[in-house]
Amino acid sequence: MSHFLSIGDLSREEVLQLFRLTASLKARQKAGDRGTPLAGRTMALIFEKPSLRTRVTFEVGMVQLGGAAVYLSAQEIGLGVRESVPDIARNLSRWVDIITARTYRHATVEALAAHATVPVINGLSDLEHPCQALADFFTLWERGMDLGRIRLAWIGDGNNVCHSLLLLAALLGTPLSMATPPGYAPHPAIQARARDLGGRLTLTTDPREAVEGADVVYTDVWISMGQEAEREQRLEAFRRYQLNEHLLGLARPGALVMHCLPAHRGEEITDAVLDGPQSVVLDQSENRLHAQKAVMVHLLGGGDV
């Protein structure tokens, strides 16, 4: 693995290796171990989209590993406008050791990787959010859940987070039931790739069917960044897909609730569910830090940590 652009870049064994590395880094951080496997290394953070979790976890993660991060906003760097993406990649490769990009078009991340001579991490694109999916499945793995036997239900939009979860579920053998409104299913190419990986995928338009008997229920916003013009249309299309106490009651007793955040409270999820005892959303959020540290160490050869 020379870049991390897609869950499809990983093998099952690499995923499990990253989980073990994540667990080690998390345990050491909790114990106050200030080991610095990336001392002297630098990372460029290219952000076309604003973020709380992605920016903080990458910046803090790099500092905890002994390195430093440089944040470059859309206004500062002007991807493809002020300067071409290949030129940006080639210049940054002369100054930094690794690049993380949070972009609209997935092709932008791919172009950065194609022209950079340092590793590139996809911090989110319109097609995938691999760091989120890695942290999510680690959250289940660290709880001792058998990922090949639990059933995960996705309720809502077939978006970038959904795509990465779909691919990672396939790699790990996790059955996945997805309920999306007509016209909002995951991209056909992602579905095909997941099935090629052996994914056990069930698609439906009925959220009750997807949730019934599930061990984990996951939802995300109905209106992602860049889709604001579709707000009214999406609110109407998704109104039956709210994750509330009634819908959650169809899952197995004690089923975990997941959301990648930020949440639009009262739209895709209710306060009672998001803040309830079955919610692990803050565990997911925390684990973004540790999972991304593992990816950085893995890509930069941080040695035995």
Dihedral angle of Cα 223, 225, 226, 230, to the nearest 10 degrees: 10
pLDDT in tens, 19-76: 999 999 999 999 999 889 999 999 999 999 889 999 999 999 999 999 999 999 988 8
Omega into 130 within 30° of 0, i.e. cis? no
Cβ burial of 30 (10 Å; 0-12, 13-18, 19+) is exposed
Average pLDDT for 186-215: 97
Average pLDDT for 200-228: 94
Domains of the chain: 7-129+288-300 (3.40.50.1370), 131-284 (3.40.50.1370)
Give the C-alpha distances (Å, rounded to integers) separating 72 from 102, 120, 125, 136, 276: 10, 15, 16, 27, 37
Cβ burial of 5 (10 Å; 0-12, 13-18, 19+) is buried
**pTM exceeds cut of 0.85:** yes
pLDDT in tens, 93-146: 999 999 999 999 999 999 999 999 999 999 999 999 999 999 999 999 999 999
pLDDT in tens, 141-152: 999 999 999 999
pLDDT for 303 equals 56
Catalytic residue numbers, as ranges: 102, 129, 132, 220, 260, 288
Cβ burial of 140 (10 Å; 0-12, 13-18, 19+) is buried
Cβ burial of 298 (10 Å; 0-12, 13-18, 19+) is middle
